[in-house]
Amino acid sequence: MIDLHFHSTYSDGKFSVPELAELIKKNGLKYCALTDHDTIAGVSELKKYLQEDSIIVIPGVELTALYGENEIHILIYDFDVKTVSEVLKERNELVKKQKVKEMQKAISLFRKEGLRMDDNLKPDEKKPVGYTVAMNICQNQSNLDLLFKRHGKILSPDDIYFNYQAPSKSCAVSRSGVSVKWILDKLQDNSTDFIIAHPFLRVSVATNPLSENDIYSLLDIGLTGVEIYHDKTTNQQIQSLIKIANEKNLYYTGGSDFHGRKNDIGIGMYGIGLEVPKFKISNYELI
């Protein structure tokens, strides 16, 4: 079995690295890669817990990147942990500073709309600024009353995004982050595996799923493959990705995207009863 996409408590997963290691052994994986969001803190730990087993642990990470007005996830594999750790430190410090400015601007715009915001509200390292702001708005009853009067219903955080934060709306603010090019410039000398994660799946309510044209454009920029097998990717989309991978001679991967949530597909699976069948990256493959 194979799983090149799952998460731990170092990002937004519910299971610790030791708990994941036990699941990996129990499910009989041959290849695995922990791909936490924007951190590789658990990679060496997972290797340590599986070092006495015949399981190949490939270093991995799922990076968030800006692609024009959109946002995507890029799976990166098989790198020197120490070197990439330094790049991620630079990336995360840059984004942290951007988020402070993004939040200040968002708060100012929402206050102009007559909504109340906590004076001590700060960005959350693991969540988009827009989500943090929307949640704060929803926690204030006077805001809910005002929004109900304006819109005729109680607004959820998603509703707040579509009515106020989406592009061209009154409280729209450019999202913090680094570009796809920034990631490639920083990491191309350390890895040759830059995989578009779940290409047809939007990564948040504030983003759009990629089209086939987007996929081709990202490959032209320098990304090297696609994640074909994923629980939220339909059979038709899987066939489209297989066609693109064959046509462009791409690397390709698959994984459960396991977070440990109630309805998650298990480690090594990409659908009910469907094991990830194969993968191919620069230095590893199972076909």
Tell me: the pLDDT tens digits for 234-265? Answer: 999 999 999 999 999 999 999 999 999 988 99
pLDDT value of residue 130? 93
Question: Does residue 221 surpass a pLDDT of 90?
Answer: yes
pLDDT digits (tens, 9 = 90+) for 66-124: 999 899 999 999 999 999 999 999 999 999 999 999 999 999 999 999 999 999 999 98
- Mean pLDDT of the 117-138 span: 92
Read off the DSSP letter of residue 24. Answer: H
Of 116, 121, 117, give the one whose Cα is nearest residue 146. Answer: 116
Q: What is the predicted pLDDT for the residue at 69? A: 85
DSSP 3-state assignment of 232? coil
Residues 6+ apart with CB under 8 A from 261: 14
Confidence category of residue 207, pLDDT binned at 50, 70, 90: confident
User: Dihedrals φ, ψ of 240, to 5°?
Assistant: -65, -40
Mean pLDDT, rounded, of the chain: 95
- 171: pLDDT strictly greater than 90: yes
pTM of the model: 0.93
Q: According to DSSP H, which parts of the chain are helical?
A: 17-26, 43-50, 81-112, 129-138, 141-151, 157-160, 180-187, 212-221, 235-248
All domains in the chain, ordered by first residue: 2-79+191-286 (3.20.20.140), 92-165 (no CATH)
pLDDT at 139 over 90: yes
Query: Average of pLDDT values for 170-188?
Result: 96
165 vs 99: CA distance, rounded Å: 15
Q: What is the pLDDT at residue 260?
A: 93
Percent of the chain with pLDDT over 90: 92
**Per-residue pLDDT averaged across 204-232, rounded?**
94
Q: Does position 206 have pLDDT exceeding 90, yes or no?
A: no
